[in-house]
Amino acid sequence: MNLIDGKKLSLEIKNELNKKIIELSEKLNKRPGLVTILVGENSASKVYVNSKIKTCAEIGINSKLEKLNEEISESDLLKVIKQYNEEPQYHGILVQLPLPEHIDEDTVIAAINPQKDVDGFHPVSVGNLVIGKDTFIPCTPFGIIEMLKRYNIETKGKHVVVVGRSNIVGKPIANLMLQKREAANSTVTVCHSATEDIASITRQADILIAAVGRPHFITADMVKENTVVIDVGINSIDAPELPKGYRIVGDVDFENVKEKASYITPVPGGVGRMTIAMLMYNTYKAFINIEKV
């Protein structure tokens, strides 16, 4: 079993970006700018946003946090987005999800300038991804592709099974793995909550991507020998023996599945680290495109 070290890979990517940003800032006297819009007091969102801000500082991206009251109206939030669409010093706009129930996420995402859509969720970005055009790739699927590429894992012609069909992970990674591109060109099957006898399908996977949001859903009997296992899940389970009272686990029963896997990602320290690294890459890409470097 080989551990796919997301912490190590994300550090490599951040170091590469830092060098590029320093070179461009000296040449242009400008740096990439990212604004994160946080609505309300969701504790998980605040932790994630703080991690993004910290990473921006580490690699030389100018960042701003726009904190808005949970009671803000949808129309007022759209005005804030319009403001940042028009501000040239911000090349990336990220609206942290989830949003309060009274605000329609699809409307908000569609309001972001596609040139600044560093999350890769805008309908224009999604459409370009599906037809194979250059675009912003959603950060978690992008991170998975980079993991496969940088670990030289063969994907061409391999059977990739994706468990989960979300717009954020399942659908985009399935589309990416289908495409005739590096670290892809695979045969893809997507499983979900309505799939019958899911274990009979996951056992066919050469590469298994678990993005279902259920702790330890993928067990050893659902995986064949020498499978590459990519665990996207981030779930908290009770752990009274720990100071926090909980622990973070993935969608895969890591301790048992690792005995059968050829490669496997840990949780934490796997795909989650790559997600933030690829957000930084997308912000750098937005800067390059907007500034026409």
For CA atoms 148, 149, 154, 160, give the dihedral sign: positive
The residue count for the chain: 293
Q: How far is CA 230 from CA 90, 121, 160, 205, in A?
A: 33, 22, 11, 11
Q: Could you say which of 20, 52, 116, 258 is catalytic?
A: 52
For this structure, is 79 an active site residue?
Answer: no
Say if residues 258 and 226 touch (Cβ distance below 8 Å): no
Q: Could you say which of 96, 171, 251, 285 is catalytic?
A: 96
For this structure, is 119 an active site residue?
Answer: yes
For this structure, is 52 an active site residue?
Answer: yes
Spatial separation of the C-alpha atoms in residues 281 and 217, rounded to whole Å: 31
Say if residues 281 and 17 touch (Cβ distance below 8 Å): yes
Q: Could you say which of 5, 14, 117, 119 is catalytic?
A: 119
Residue the block writes with tokens 């699927």? 141
Spatial separation of the C-alpha atoms in residues 87 and 135, rounded to whole Å: 21
Residue 38, strand partner residues: 67
Closest to 176 measured CA to CA, from 226, 218, 140, 151: 140
Residue 82, strand partner residues: none
What percent of the chain is helix, strand and coil (3-state, nearest 5)?
A: 40, 20, 40
Residues taking part in catalysis:
52, 96, 119
